[in-house]
Amino acid sequence: MAEATLEPGKLAKEAEELEAEFTRNGDQLFEELAKQYDRSESEIERAISAFYAQYETDEGLSLQEAEMPLRRAEINAYNERISEYESQIAEEEVDTIPTENPATRIEALFGEIDAITIVATLAITSGITRHLRGSLEDSYLRIAFMIQGGVETYSRVPSVATETVSETLAFPWSGETYDDRVRANRESFWLGLKRSIREKIVRNEKLKDTIADLRKKVKAWKTSTQRIIRTESNRIFNEGTALAYRLFGVERYSVLATIDARTSQVCRRENGKTYLLEERITGVNYPPFHPNCRTIVLPVTSNLTFSGRFIRSISFSNWKNRFVQ
């Protein structure tokens, strides 16, 4: 056993660089998921355009025309389109798409838009979940490596238990889980678009106006998901940090905010404060404190007791191969 002192300045620099890297990884994930939104926008635009092409007259598209009862052939065509969307998702998720036959033409359009957005949301949630699962393990190990590297003394480190990963991801730290927020954003987008389409028909506006509003709403939908990814990336980074601190017996932590023109008042207020690790409450005295938060924590300790091998220099990948159980 040996006591070793960590250098606060060096730790702060390395931790800030790590958090910035996790933010970049989250932004890369969003760029991939944005393609799903783009596909959804194209599919919804196609559905709306087909609706106008089929039912619009020389005088425009009236609400009376839009609310005409569906004929048998139209119901069959609707069910075929819904079956196509069901084929794009896992069998256990098929029941998330409503199967009730619509009564009117406009209800069929809304039902198809509903299916399109549900398929997109399932894919987006799955992508975020995979990202966060990998990020928790990675942040925990990177912080553990950073601490051991700070004193150049290395020992075996256990992997994060599967149940710990699942519990961490499922914890509703802000009152809702990230999954809840992604689904709520979809619902808000769908309901808003339904209302907009109906209003534009009532006002006898052109197809191009409806499509322009669709694109505006998809952009807002995407932005809300980007905010979730950035916030949850910060949360998972800090959750991995807490796991590593517990591993090494760190009892207190200090809050470290990024101070610039974008720093929130709450992060400015919390910056530099110290708390007991066992009393941490995410969103209250532990980051993230708000959406898009960039704040992290540092260990408060004058020394830590280590047992292990002294190694002057080792890469993270080599350390992981040799010391992670």
Query: Could you read off the pLDDT of 171-212 as tens digits, one per residue?
Result: 999 999 999 999 999 999 999 999 999 999 999 999 999 999
Q: What is d(CA 42, CA 44) in angstroms, rounded to the nearest whole number?
A: 6
Q: Environment class of residue 55 by beta-carbon count within 10 Å: exposed (0-12), middle (13-18) or buried (19+)?
A: middle
The pLDDT assigned to 154 comes to 81
Cβ–Cβ under 8 Å, residues 298 and 12: yes
The pLDDT assigned to 11 comes to 80
Number of domains in the chain: 1
Q: What is the pLDDT of residues 88-123, one digit of tens each?
A: 888 778 778 877 889 999 999 999 999 999 999 999
The pLDDT assigned to 305 comes to 63
**Res. 58: pLDDT tops 60:** yes
How much of the chain exceeds pLDDT 70, in percent? 95
Q: What is the pLDDT of residues 15-25, one digit of tens each?
A: 899 999 999 99
The pLDDT assigned to 93 comes to 80
The pLDDT assigned to 256 comes to 95
> Quick one: average pLDDT of 3-9?
62
The pLDDT assigned to 64 comes to 93
Q: Beta partners for 298?
A: 254
Could you tell me which residue, 128 or 303, shows the higher pLDDT? 128
How does DSSP assign 127-187, residue by residue? HHHHHHHHHHHHHHHHHHHHHHHHHTEE--BPPPPHHHHHHHHH--TTSS-HHHHHHHHHH
Mean pLDDT of the chain: 91
CB within 8 A of 199, min separation 6: which ones?
Answer: none
**Res. 153: pLDDT tops 80:** no
The pLDDT assigned to 307 comes to 65
Q: E strands within the chain?
A: 2-4, 153-154, 252-256, 274-276, 296-300, 304-306, 309-310
Radius of gyration of the chain (CA): 25
**Res. 1: pLDDT tops 60:** no
How much of the chain exceeds pLDDT 90, in percent? 77
Q: What is the pLDDT of residues 262-314, one digit of tens each?
A: 999 999 999 999 999 999 999 999 999 999 999 999 998 755 666 667 776 78
169, two tokens: 């991801």
Split at pLDDT 50, 70, 90, the class of 9 is: confident
The pLDDT assigned to 100 comes to 82
pTM for this one?
A: 0.91
Q: What is d(CA 58, CA 103) in angstroms, rounded to the nearest whole number?
A: 25
First vs last C-alpha separation in the chain? 21
Q: Environment class of residue 118 by beta-carbon count within 10 Å: exposed (0-12), middle (13-18) or buried (19+)?
A: buried
Split at pLDDT 50, 70, 90, the class of 159 is: very high
The torsion of the CA quartet 139, 140, 142, 145, rounded to 10 degrees, works out to 170
**Res. 126: pLDDT tops 90:** yes
The pLDDT assigned to 304 comes to 63
Question: What range defines the domain where residue 292 resides?
Answer: 2-323
